[in-house]
A and B are shown apart, each in its own frame.
Chain A
Amino acid sequence: MTTTEGAPEGTDREISGAELVLTDVVKKYPGQKTPAVESLSLTVPAGEIVMFIGPSGCGKTTSLKMINRLIEPTSGSITIDGKDIRQQDENELRRHIGYVIQGGSLFPHMTVEKNIGIVPKLLGWDADRISARVTDLLDLVGLEPGRYRGRYPRELSGGQQQRVGVARGLAADPPVILMDEPFGAVDPITRQRLQDELLSIQRELRKTIICVTHDIDEAIKLGDRILILKEGARIAQYDTPEAILGAPADDFVADFVGAGSSLKALSLARVSDLELRQPTTARVGESTAEVRERAEANGDTAVVVIDERGRPRGWPWVRQLKGETIVVPDLELNDVDERSTLNDALDTMLSSNHGAAIVTGDRGQYLGIVDFAAVTEQIRAMEEQAGG
């Protein structure tokens, strides 16, 4: 197990995940004629996100829960990093597998800090180490540590609770993380954001993530590979999103992926494939007059305000800049992660009055902006490629 402590920021992109192998895994419940999981064999490469998807009752959640032994397989074997999970004590095993479920499932009587610290505490970390880890994780999921660590779950929005849920799953730096419809309980805009954040976190940590979903768009967006299951957890297709969209194995998969597949191609291209524009930026605390001058020289009518931690905080018009120095604008910001799909980027652009979206990288760092022109250019290039 390569459990490097909270992978150092921005340096190496070492894979901290572990390979997961399922061999002929069967789950049969007593009194049921057909097994819930017939015979599932699957290899998940270290550091990849695999999305489990299929009709309800197809056994995807059952398969997931067998990995951390919440459900014991009837037969077959599951190994993590070559080690059979049945050779280990089940509680010990679970402490080394992250588990994130819908809505975050936070314990309402514990603060954010206590919730995140549960597994580290079970592993016997000392208080200082847990506290430092909580700070790091809250920062990673985009919640200001000082402001949120002492709060109770009911004092958080649904999206914030889910972020804490993800932080809790990552707490002890497990090589494998299981997610069961993690973003099912939040509104579409928040969901898109949380997905973006997960991609950003994954770019940094490279865990092995198994994620159950019922949303094919989510599967295409997040998955390095997608596992499409039929009843009895029989594999319909297990491949990259590109291959599944481009060459569905059979009618079942084609049906499942659904109509509008050409539109779905927009979900395959990522913002990072595009040329980003670099408009005038302003640091919080800079002199307003200087910023105004700079914007005029660049011919920009708006500036991106960046805070001291390098995160974009707003995108005001130049005429909206007031006061001596630049302050954090009191506006909702429309930003997308660089691993976002063109689909999401278009969505965000349409709701922005700039007709463009701010792009962020690791830990919400500002990268540039993406506009309609760049997207149409990319679509044209994709069509040419497909045609040629």
Chain B
Amino acid sequence: MWEFISERRASLAFDAYQHASLVLQCVLLATIIAVVVAALITRARQLEPVANAVSAIGLTMPSLALIGLLIPLSGLGTTTAVIAVTFYAVMPILRNAVVGFAQVDATLLESARGMGMSELRTLTRIRLPLAWPVILAGVRISTQMSMGVAAIAAYVIGPGMGKYIFTGLATDGGANSVNNAVVGTFGIVLIALLADGLLLLLGRLTISKGIRA
């Protein structure tokens, strides 16, 4: 096993980096999308059931199936991987962002309005910072989930650690099949733990001391 790893040190490190980079960029994109959509939903409450339905259906759709559906549209490669990972990453963040925005005390929003804050400013200065702990919790869930989805994206020749798992499964019984699958799986788990630690740190840095639990 150690031999297997040390022989492939360079390519493993590169793939691990690619995996982390794919997930983090997709989650970042997903956070922006989710917050924008949630802000729109908070303005037009009648959209809330629609959003809930979409995110519920979205999460039940098997990722392999979605990737399969995407191939005719965006072909094989990174683009498809990014679309798939981002799609799943949006769901938990969107849910938390809708809940987080709804939890902001209405009297606070009225006093913001009463002081002459524009709607956009109220969103960025009041709503977002107050909902941020809940949104960030969604980002953590989303990141963990995306680590797994990104592995499956290797099916369409996306970047990352997924290819070791697929290689392992495809060469079942072969000399290095177990090594491949185990290295791929544990590598992803390791990256996931690291990412979660970083997000915790981000929370410490970005959640106001006045509302930290």
Q: Which of A83-109 contact B (CB under 8 A)?
A: 90-96, 99, 101-102, 105, 107-109
* Residue count of chain B within 8 Å CB distance of chain A: 19
Contact A95 B126 (CB under 8 A): no
Determine how close the nearest CB of chain B comes to the CB of A112; give it in whole angstroms. 10
B107 touches A93 (CB 8 A): no
Interfacial chain A residues near B208, Cβ < 8 Å: 108-110, 152
Report the contact-size class of chain A (Cβ under 8 Å from the partner).
20 to 34
Assembled-state Cα–Cα distance A344/B118 (Å):
42
Residues of A within 8 A of B130 (CB): 107-109
A175 smallest CB distance to B (angstroms): 15
0 or 1 for each of B53-85: is its CB under 8 Å from A? (1 = yes) = 000000000000000000000000000000000
Asked if B107 contacts A105 (CB within 8 A), the reply is yes
Complex contact B118–A105 (CB within 8 A): no
Q: Which residues of B contact A99 (CB under 8 A)?
A: 111, 114-115
> What does DSSP make chain B's interface, helix, strand, loop or mixed?
helix
In the bound complex, do residue A122 and residue B116 qualify as a contact, i.e. CB atoms below 8 Å apart?
Answer: yes
Which residues of chain A are within 8 angstroms of B211 by Cβ–Cβ distance? 108-109
Residues of B within 8 A of A111 (CB): 210
Closest to A95 in B: B116
Q: Considering only CB atoms, which chain B residue lies closest to A122 in the complex?
A: B116
A94 touches B108 (CB 8 A): no
Instruction: Tell me if A119 counts as interface (CB < 8 A to partner B).
Output: yes
Contact of B210 with A152 in the complex, beta carbons under 8 Å: yes
Interface presence of B9 (CB below 8 A) = no
Contact mask for chain A residues 138-165; partner B; CB cutoff 8 A; 1 contact, 0 none:
0000000000000011100000000000
Specify which chain B residues have a CB less than 8 angstroms from the CB of A93 in the assembled complex: 116
User: CA of A101 to CA of B112 in the docked complex: distance in angstroms?
Assistant: 11
B114 and A70: CB pair below 8 A? yes
Question: How long is the Cα–Cα vector from A110 to B75 in the complex, in angstroms?
Answer: 48
| Chain A residue with Cβ nearest B207 | A109
Known A109-B211, A110-B210; contact A94-B116, beta-carbon cutoff 8 A = yes
B115 to A94, Cβ gap below 8 A? yes
* Interchain CB contact under 8 A, B210 and A109: yes
Cβ of B129 under 8 Å from chain A: yes
Interface residues of B in 79-129 (CB under 8 A from A): 107-108, 110-118, 121, 126, 129
Task: Flag if B108 contacts A107 (CB, 8 Å).
Answer: yes
- A340 interface contact, C-beta 8 A: no
Quick check: is A295 within 8 A (CB to CB) of the other chain? no
Q: A268: CB under 8 A from chain B? A: no
| Interface: B209 (CB within 8 A) | yes
A102 to B111, CA, bound (A): 10
Is A68 interfacial (CB-CB < 8 Å)?
yes
- Asked if A118 is at the interface (CB within 8 A of a chain B CB), the reply is yes
Distance of A70 Cα from B110 Cα, bound (Å) = 8
Known A-B contacts A107-B108, A107-B126, A109-B130; the reply to A119 vs B115 at CB < 8 A is: yes
Taken together as a complex, chains A and B put the C-alpha atoms of A95 and B107 apart, in Å, by 18
Alpha-carbon distance between A122 and B118 when the two chains are bound, in angstroms: 10
- Whether A94 contacts B113 by the Cβ 8 Å rule is yes
Are A119 and B116 within 8 A (Cβ)? yes
> What's the minimum C-beta distance from B107 to chain A, rounded to whole angstroms?
5
Q: Across the interface, name the chain B residue whose C-beta is closest to A102.
A: B107
Minimum-distance CB pairs A-B, first 4 = A152-B210, A94-B116, A109-B208, A95-B116
Q: What are 26 A-B contacts defined by CB distance under 8 Å?
A: A90-B116, A93-B116, A94-B113, A95-B115, A95-B116, A96-B116, A99-B114, A101-B111, A102-B107, A105-B107, A105-B110, A107-B112, A107-B126, A107-B130, A108-B210, A109-B130, A109-B208, A109-B210, A118-B115, A118-B117, A122-B115, A122-B117, A152-B209, A152-B210, A153-B210, A178-B114
User: Besides the contacts A111-B210, A152-B210, what 14 more A-B pairs have beta carbons closer than 8 Å?
Assistant: A94-B116, A95-B115, A95-B116, A101-B111, A105-B111, A107-B112, A108-B208, A109-B130, A109-B210, A118-B117, A119-B116, A122-B117, A122-B121, A153-B210
